[in-house]
Amino acid sequence: MTSTRRTFLALGAAGLAGLRIGPRAAFAQETAAVDVPAMVTKAVAYLRSKQGRDGSWSGDRQEPGITALVVTALLRSKQVPPADPAIEKALAYLEKYVGARGGMSEAPHSVYATSVALMAFHEANVGGKYDRVIKGCQDFLKESQFDEGEKKDRSDPQYGGLGYGGDRSRPDLSNTSFMMEALHDSGLPPDDPALQKALIFVSRCQNLKSEFNDQPFADRVNDGGFIYTSGAVAPAPGKAGRGREAAKTRAEAKADAKAPVGGIRSTAGMTYAGLKSMVYAGLHPDDVRVKAALAFIARNYNLEENPGGGQRGLYYYYLMFGRGLGALGKKTFTDAEGKEHDWKADLAAALARRQDASGAWANKDDRFMEGDPNIVTSYALMALAAG
């Protein structure tokens, strides 16, 4: 257990009114019959069957980050060891994208790919085998952060954030949270400058008027939830980027046009991403930002949809749900109506209802590439491994 998580747990009894520990017998769960190991075994078998000859998954997409995501999911399942031939072949494939700058600098979406690859190489790092690659990934992510190196100071709304990577990339909470998770999981302490800079950006993505968010939208919704990016929702014409980033930009802009009182709509997926990021940066449960995020989650506890987003990005939401609540180190969560939830059991039940006979998961709403079962099955395995 990391020092950050120990500190959070030590302070949590006083500061987290929404979280309580209680015996499992106290819960009226529909989840008792869910066989999680069997569910994981089926998913692992499915992913094994989909690996390409070159070691990749979904290689036709030319997105090595997908392969890194699958490797991380397989290793975190604890059913596949680092020495497994499929893992070694996949990591060799990923190493082809390691550039002179370190990290996956030769990948199309270099920052995203590096964050997920850092998780994969860290999980596989037995006996220091990947120490050099891990250090290179950490350095590349720090170098890619929007900060003084890009002539941006703390007053700039982009400061501390990261995007997908590339010349047209803009910083967003999703990529910033993946970077923070990767740095945290690979051993960086909460007070590392990169995590503290990222916290500035993360705080500006919260719909909360406070000393930590000086953005004009902060008090228009003011519900404690998080949004996709702290700057303008839609970039200038011709600056939306390509592929996944452009799709997210258009979807977010369209949805946010319907947000109340001219603000930017919070979503639960982004709120869990913000929550875990705050924990990784060392915030305590009595911090106003953490309290507000937990209050939003308590009002929107739901595993049938991504509150604020519906079915859009549902499995990404499940991943953030698992990692966010897992970062708190608590077994239960109490919603705004006072109902106590065994959140891991709830998550397992939601995923069990959606796993198909092949062992895979996929979203009928294909936005954000969630129609690709390699991506979505990896999200599901990583969510189940959280906590």
Interval 1-47: pLDDT, tens: 455 554 454 444 333 334 332 333 333 344 457 999 999 999 999 99
- The region, left, alpha or beta by phi > 0 then psi within -120 to 50, assigned to residue 151 is left
**pLDDT value of residue 179:** 98
Tell me the domain boundaries of the chain.
3-22+36-49+198-385
**pLDDT value of residue 25:** 35
**pLDDT value of residue 267:** 93
What count of other Cβ atoms lies within 10 Å of the Cβ of residue 41? 14
CA angle 150, 155, 160 (to 5 degrees): 50
3-state secondary structure of 234: coil
- d(C-alpha 66, C-alpha 70), whole Å: 6
**pLDDT value of residue 192:** 98
What count of other Cβ atoms lies within 10 Å of the Cβ of residue 170? 20
Low-confidence ranges of the chain (pLDDT < 50): 1, 6-7, 9-31, 232-243, 245, 250, 253-254, 256-258
**pLDDT value of residue 366:** 87
Please name the residues in contact with 206: beta carbons below 8 A apart, sequence gap of 6 or more.
Answer: 212, 213, 218, 224, 225, 226, 227, 274, 289, 292, 293
**pLDDT value of residue 251:** 52
**pLDDT value of residue 242:** 45
For residues 175 and 163, the answer to whether their CB atoms sit within 8 Å is yes
**pLDDT value of residue 117:** 98
